[in-house]
């Protein structure tokens, strides 16, 4: 579990200092995952990017930059976060890439101002770039016709995915880009991790074969990006990816693609979840325990009410994601019972214990009482970054633990934060 390296940290003390709920990150776990990917991509011609949408906390970005892991951003503001962390947007190498399905807010302005590499997921975006005065290198995100995420609601490739330009249309898009003064220097596809480790491995090989077949149509391409999606084992006993085998696949791919192109082709990967998923835990406090009783509508349940909700961690409510749950300092011999962990929001879906069909799934957990601390593990990826102010609740604080020392890296939002942007002015 994510708190294994945090056994020396007094969660009760932290809870009293910053209040509940809060996120707590283990710097050692982040560093271990960074080191594993750095070793994986150590061969010439390989490069790792961090898909920072998974977790954009400043200490995470700082450690990525220290190990020369480049950035994949998905908004103009994520690009600016990378810049604030020290990434050189104007560097000769495309250290920061902007991959987005739609230009919105300041995205076009950021591309025009800093020359960050735009990775295009729709043909119209090429015309928008040219109209905005950008004439430079671009990436082309291609939908190869296959692939999907770790759950069925996360389709990242294939006919039901909104991401990328359909492979039959990609060459025409590249030709149109050339006419507008844009040069396709990178080919990209993200097909997701798939529901099993075996599917991830076979999909990655399939993706390499796909690029080997189409690379000749893009004579200016200097890099091929295989996307992210290295699975993280959220469930106990789930298999893990063989990184040695994956590294061999990447080295073989780089050699094969370079040989076919007749020039050096950089092969990139961009894991996000893998870097940070196990590094964070949501700590929440039990406020009450209540029970329903069986009737003609169904069985009764024990509901443990906690102060964290899907505004803090939305993955279980959004797509039935599984997170291990434990009780802080519960005795090994403590009595257990089937339990539903439910939050404070005015929504029936504000429940952390669901199955992959998003139905209630009680967990066998120690019997709990008000003021107990509940730990929701593996919350580092798409946890805080997807949190919200639903019900006008402030976002939880984030605590970073480095060598046993806790640092507050974002405070709890208060009422003034929520209304700061509100106004009533004539347009």
**Residues taking part in catalysis:** 346
309 alpha-carbon distance from chain centroid = 19
328 class by beta-carbon count within 10 Å (0-12 exposed, 13-18 middle, 19+ buried): middle
Count the helices and strands in the chain (H runs, E runs).
Answer: 12, 18
List the structure tokens of 348.
């029936």
Residues 299, 334 contacting (CB under 8 angstroms): no
Phi, psi at 92, each rounded to 5°? -60, -40
Looking up tokens 């593996």, which residue turns up?
A: 378
Could you give the CA distance from residue 83 to residue 261 in angstroms, rounded to a whole number? 33
Residues 339, 302 contacting (CB under 8 angstroms): yes
List the structure tokens of 273.
């979840």
Spatial CA neighbour of 38 closest among 60, 62, 70? 70
Cα dihedral angle (150, 151, 157, 159), rounded to 10 degrees?
160
Query: Which residues pair with residue 118 across a beta bridge?
Result: 98
Could you give the CA distance from residue 59 to residue 285 in angstroms, rounded to a whole number? 26
């Amino acid at each position: 579990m994510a708190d294994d390296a945090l056994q020396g940290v007094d969660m009760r003390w932290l809870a009293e200092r910053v209040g509940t709920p809060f996120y707590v990150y283990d710097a050692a776990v982040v560093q271990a995952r960074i080191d594993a990917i750095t070793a994986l991509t150590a061969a010439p011609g390989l490069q790792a990017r961090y898909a920072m949408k998974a977790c954009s906390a400043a200490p995470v970005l700082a450690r990525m930059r220290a190990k020369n892991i480049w950035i994949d951003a998905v908004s103009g503001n994520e690009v600016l976060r990378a810049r604030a962390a020290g990434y050189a947007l104007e560097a000769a190498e495309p250290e920061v890439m902007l991959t987005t399905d739609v230009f919105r807010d300041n995205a076009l302005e950021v591309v025009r101002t800093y020359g960050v590499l735009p990775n295009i997921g729709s043909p119209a975006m090429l015309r928008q770039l040219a109209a905005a005065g950008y004439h430079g290198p671009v990436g082309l995100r291609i939908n190869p016709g296959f692939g999907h995420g770790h759950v069925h609601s996360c389709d990242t490739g294939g006919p039901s995915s909104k991401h990328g330009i359909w492979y039959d249309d990609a060459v025409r898009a590249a030709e149109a880009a050339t006419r507008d003064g844009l040069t396709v220097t990178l080919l990209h596809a993200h097909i997701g991790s798939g529901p099993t480790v075996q599917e991830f491995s076979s999909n990655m090989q399939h993706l390499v074969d796909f690029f080997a077949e189409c690379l000749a149509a893009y004579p200016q391409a200097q890099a091929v990006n295989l996307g992210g999606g290295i699975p993280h084992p959220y469930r106990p006993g789930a298999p893990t990816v063989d990184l040695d085998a994956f590294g061999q696949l990447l080295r073989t791919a780089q050699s094969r693609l370079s040989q076919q192109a007749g020039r050096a082709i950089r092969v990139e990967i961009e894991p996000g979840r893998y870097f940070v998923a196990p590094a964070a835990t949501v700590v929440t406090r039990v406020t009450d325990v209540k029970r329903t009783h069986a009737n003609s509508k169904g069985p009764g349940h024990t509901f443990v009410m906690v102060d964290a909700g899907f505004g803090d961690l939305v993955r279980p409510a959004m797509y039935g994601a599984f997170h291990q749950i434990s009780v802080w300092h519960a005795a090994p011999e403590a009595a257990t019972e089937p339990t539903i962990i439910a939050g404070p929001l005015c929504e029936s879906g504000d429940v952390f214990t669901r199955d992959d069909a998003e139905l209630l799934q009680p967990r066998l957990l120690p019997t709990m009482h008000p003021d107990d601390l509940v730990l929701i593990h593996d919350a580092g990826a798409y946890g805080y970054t997807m949190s919200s102010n639903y019900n006008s609740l402030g976002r939880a604080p984030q605590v970073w633990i480095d060598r046993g020392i806790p640092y507050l890296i974002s405070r709890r939002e208060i009422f003034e934060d929520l209304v700061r942007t509100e106004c009533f002015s004539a347009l």
